[in-house]
Structure 1
Amino acid sequence: MSSGLLALLDDVATIAKVAAASLDDVTGAAGKASSKAVGVVVDDTAVTPGYAMGFSPDRELPIVFKIAIGSLRNKFIFLLPGALLLSAFAPWAVTPLLMLGGAYLCFEAAEKILESFHKGHDEELVEQAVLDATQLEKQQVSGAIRTDLILSAEITAIALSEVATRPLAIQAAALALVALLITVGVYGVVALIVKLDDIGLHMSQRPSRASQSVGRALVKGMPIVLSGLATVGTAAMLWVGGGILIHGLEHFHLTPIPHLVEGFAHAAAGVPVIGPVTGWLAFAVASGVLGLVLGGIIAGLLHVLPLPSAKTKSR
């Protein structure tokens, strides 16, 4: 009896060791994959706050929560199983799909830029004015989740490339962990950003002079910060979308543009001390220029061609 119990305990210990080793594999793979996706995560964080701007303070966190739920749905229902299936049965389709998503990001950013110069922007403001708050919120959340789908696809693809040689179970667990951690991290930061003005207002009403000073600075500064983030978000769509396209062209051995961009970035990376920063910045600028050109072409065609809806809402 005791020998049977000892054997059972030994089996349990062996299973626990295997489970611990598997957990180490998953966390190690997830950590490596997450580090590679940091650039897109930063872009996602910059893009999202703009979708919660312009609403009453009591609706800001619910909007962020709805977008976060939509982001989890994107990752766990569509992207994670889709990435595993494509990796197993149609790996050739991953890059073209990513390039289509990158082109869509470029188009969205180009639309935002065109609207800022075009009288149609005023027409859009009038249109939004007649929408009730519920309709406008639904429109904003839908646009945010659509943009998140593209950025999340890029994050998933980067993560998958880092665990592609691992067993399928490790791939799935690592991608799920990356998806969960990145979503919680991104939308936690976004929630903090959109509520900083309310935090500042609360601090400005406290008796401490230091607290009042910080609070007033937050209240005055947050509109500038949010406006800046909106600009960064638009730029992020361009450089992420353009970067996806550059990597896709290189994948298909269409190298003139990728070689030109890489040469520019390599030359910029030769600056003493700050070379890594200038090299990254050069690649981001070149990617953004390519994204703006392509996005402008797509937006122009959609405005000229007699389509049922010549304008896709980008907000």
Structure 2
Amino acid sequence: MPGGLTALLDDVAVIARTAAASIDDVAVAASKAGSKTAGVVIDDAAVTPSYVTGLSPARELPLIWNITKGSFKNKLLFLLPGALLLSEFLPGAIVFVLMLGGLYLSYEGAEKVIEKLGGEKHGKTLEDEIEDPAAFEKERTSGAIRTDLILSAEIMAITLNEVAAETLVTRAAVLALVGIAVTVFVYGAVALIVKMDDVGLHLTEKASSAAQAVGRFLLKAMPLLLTFLSFIGTIAMLWVGGGILLHGMHELGIDGLYKYAHDIEHAVETVGGGFFGWLTFAALSALFALIVGGIIVFILHKVFKMGHGPGDAEAH
């Protein structure tokens, strides 16, 4: 009996150590995969504040919460099971899913650049009069959730590509962890950003001159921050989209552009260090995405006369 008890305790200890190791594996894999999705996360955080512009302050947080719930559903109820099925039964398709996402990001980024340079705008804009606030809010919510679905699919695909060699359980855990963490981070940050002006206005009404100064600073900083986020979001779209396309072409055996970009990256890295090498590859990726995206914009809007894509509710 003592021997049996000792053996049982040993088995429990082994199981505990294995579980702990598995948790470590999940954490490491999630961290690695999460870093790869950084560009899409930046874009997601930069795009979302535009969806609450034009609403009354009292409806901003409820709208963000509705979008957050939609994002959780996108990632955990639809994309996670789909990604697991894809990785289990058709792993070779992952690269094509990634490249489709890369094409979409390139298109969106190029369209934004063209619009900023004075090109024709597509979809609804903030200049449109809001006739029905309830319908407007519903439309904004559905548009944001559609855009989130596309960006979330890209995040999950990038994550899945990083953990494709792991067990099914580890893949599921990493996808869930990254999905939850990204959603909390993005929409938590968005909530803080969109309420910054309200906080600033509240502080300007305080008796303290210091509080009033901080309030005025926040009110002045808000438009600049939104402009900066829009710029960063566009750059992130192009950088990530182009990088995905180049890596996808490499995996499919089309090495020319990928090799050329990496040769330049290594040459710069030799002279200026790793950061400048990375920056060079990112810039080349963005340039490639801008060219590819520009071609898609021309085909969709000039040849087929189509309007804005899946994110047609997005404010410009």
| Conserved? CA contact 2:123–2:308, under 8 Å | no
Change (3 A) 1:65 1:264: farther
Change (3 A) 1:11 1:91: closer
Q: Secondary structure at the match of 2:270?
A: coil
Report the more deviating stretch, 136-145 or 79-88. Answer: 136-145
| Conserved? CA contact 1:71–1:148, under 8 Å | yes
Q: TM-score, normalised by structure 2?
A: 0.85
Report the more deviating stretch, 54-63 or 132-141. Answer: 132-141
Does 2:289 match 1:291? yes
Q: Percent identity?
A: 52
| Conserved? CA contact 2:123–2:307, under 8 Å | no
Deviation at 1:93, TM superposition (A): 0.9
Q: Secondary structure at the match of 1:54?
A: coil
Change (3 A) 1:279 1:134: farther
Deviation at 1:10, TM superposition (A): 8.0
Q: Secondary structure at the match of 2:206?
A: coil
- 1:94-243 to 2 correspondence within 5 Å? 94-118=94-118, 120-121=120-121, 124-125=124-125, 128-129=128-129, 132-243=132-243
Distance 2:264 2:159 in 1: 27
Q: Describe the superposition over 1:271-296 as per-residue Cα deviations: whole angstroms up to 9, x where unpaired.
A: 44xx3332232222222221121122
| Conserved? CA contact 1:46–1:236, under 8 Å | no
Equivalent position amino acid for 1:135 in 2: A
Distance 1:122 1:85 in 2: 36
- Unmatched tracts of structure 2, length 5 or more: none
Deviation at 1:147, TM superposition (A): 3.0
Q: Describe the superposition over 1:171-212 as per-residue Cα deviations: whole angstroms up to 9, x where unpaired.
A: 211211121112111211121111111112222222322222
Report the more deviating stretch, 31-40 or 197-206. Answer: 31-40
Distance 2:256 2:127 in 1: 44
The root-mean-square deviation of aligned C-alpha atoms, in Å, is: 3.0
Q: TM-score, normalised by structure 1?
A: 0.85
Does 2:43 match 1:43? yes
| Conserved? CA contact 1:51–1:141, under 8 Å | yes
Q: Describe the superposition over 1:236-287 as per-residue Cα deviations: whole angstroms up to 9, x where unpaired.
A: 2222211111111111121121122222322333344xx3332232222222
| Conserved? CA contact 1:40–1:151, under 8 Å | yes
Distance 2:180 2:298 in 1: 37
Deviation at 1:314, TM superposition (A): 6.2
Report the more deviating stretch, 118-127 or 160-169. Answer: 118-127
Equivalent position amino acid for 1:107 in 2: Y
| Conserved? CA contact 1:52–1:60, under 8 Å | yes
Distance 2:280 2:263 in 1: 10
Deviation at 1:298, TM superposition (A): 1.2
Residue 302 of structure 1 corresponds to 300
Change (3 A) 1:126 1:206: closer
Deviation at 1:44, TM superposition (A): 2.6
Residue 61 of structure 1 corresponds to 61
Deviation at 1:14, TM superposition (A): 6.6
Equivalent position amino acid for 2:55 in 1: F
Distance 1:164 1:247 in 2: 16
Residue 269 of structure 1 corresponds to 269
Distance 1:116 1:36 in 2: 28
Report the more deviating stretch, 66-75 or 298-307. Answer: 298-307
Distance 1:238 1:36 in 2: 15
Deviation at 1:24, TM superposition (A): 3.6
| Conserved? CA contact 1:103–1:245, under 8 Å | yes
Q: Secondary structure at the match of 2:291?
A: helix
Change (3 A) 1:117 1:136: farther
Residue 80 of structure 1 corresponds to 80
Q: Describe the superposition over 1:131-179 as per-residue Cα deviations: whole angstroms up to 9, x where unpaired.
A: 5333333333333333333332332233223333322112211211121
Report the more deviating stretch, 105-114 or 189-198. Answer: 105-114
Change (3 A) 1:314 1:256: farther
Equivalent pairs counted in the alignment come to 312
Q: Describe the superposition over 1:101-159 as per-residue Cα deviations: whole angstroms up to 9, x where unpaired.
A: 21112222233333345575499548832553333333333333333333323322332
